[in-house]
Amino acid sequence: MISAARSERDAGEAWAGIIPALVTPLCPDGSLDVEGLERMIGYVSSHGVHAISILGSTGEGALLPDAVHAEALMVALRSGGRRPIIAGVLNAVPRDVFAAARRAFECGAAAVLLTPPFYYRLDQAAIVAFYREAVRVLRGPIFIYHIPAFTKVQLEPETVSKLAELPGLVGIKDSSRDLDFHRRVIEQTRDRSFAVFAGSGDILVASMGWGGAGAIAASANLIPDTLVQLWNAQRAGDTDGAGHLHRRVHAVEEICRRFPFPVNWKTSLALIGLMNAVPAFPVQAMTPADVDAMRSGLRELGVLREGSSYNSLFQKGGRDCE
């Protein structure tokens, strides 16, 4: 569904589907767990995801040192096969954002996902200026990353509509959880080559019903098969099938959201044996009681069949962690 062989003007039309907001497996010393990342990419790829987004919020991109960023990108590009890799760049300094995005493109990333500069509460004119400059200095597809709960930067639908006119700015990941904003963005960019992605799986049906492209979702780490099936059912007009799958996605996300983000998703993946649950410093591991509660909830949904001990969740890793 996603093809990089498009002009920048038409690139938005090439982006659609289910894209995991991939976790970044780490060793206890904070270095990259290379084998863990390769295992995660193999897992989501085997379930038919359409692309892979790395180093975003779920991937703890704002907490990882440059060396881990660079290594994770290279591992993803090497392991992703033909699936396009979207590289997240979460930084408050515009010049550093553009430098990191440029390096990502030079390494082979298919697109970059850029938050606006955070810390200050930017007005709409400043946001437009930032993305105009990004389009001017970068040579490759750019996605807006709208996550005001973290950045404190709130876009307006009219601002997104204006930005959607820029060649090279091909879409938005909207993690605002504001359904009215999401709907208005889709409506105001419908006549342009601009892909609007939901930032979570539980609004995928509503988003696609309005004309959205798909989801870039944390839950696609844990249940990529369910989300791909949901996307296919919604596209095919299978209302009953989509409804059933939506309820499952919502239930899984509801359980995982009871616990601190983003270590909740790492812990869920550790519970099914894919990786360890080591978070990026200074994020703290989930407590044994919380792990037990998550284990119980996921087992009830059939996601988890065999539990792991609490200690083992923080010891599992590839040879690079030994």
d(CA 71, CA 150): 25
Nearest-CA neighbor of 68 among 117, 33, 98, 105?
33
* Number of domains observed in the structure of the chain: 1
DSSP state of 238: -
291 within domain boundaries: no
Look at the pTM and tell me if it is higher than 0.85.
yes
- The C-alpha torsion from 91 through 97 and 99 to 104, rounded to 10°, is 90
Helix (H) or strand (E) holding 5: none
251 within domain boundaries: no
CATH at 153: 3.20.20.70
Report residue 310's pLDDT band, with 50, 70 and 90 as the boundaries.
Answer: low
Residue 61 has pLDDT above 90, yes or no: yes
246 within domain boundaries: no
3 within domain boundaries: no
Tens-place pLDDT, residues 40-56: 999 999 999 999 999 99
149 within domain boundaries: yes
Q: Is 292 helix (H, G, I), strand (E, B) or coil?
A: helix
320 within domain boundaries: no
In the chain, the N- to C-terminal Cα span, in Å, equals 39
89 within domain boundaries: yes
Domain membership of residue 98 as a residue range: 11-236
261 within domain boundaries: no
Could you tell me whether strands 214-217 and 85-89 are parallel, antiparallel, or unpaired per DSSP bridges? unpaired
Residue 318 has pLDDT above 70, yes or no: no
Tens-place pLDDT, residues 111-167: 999 999 999 999 999 999 999 999 999 999 999 999 999 999 999 999 999 999 999
d(CA 71, CA 61): 12
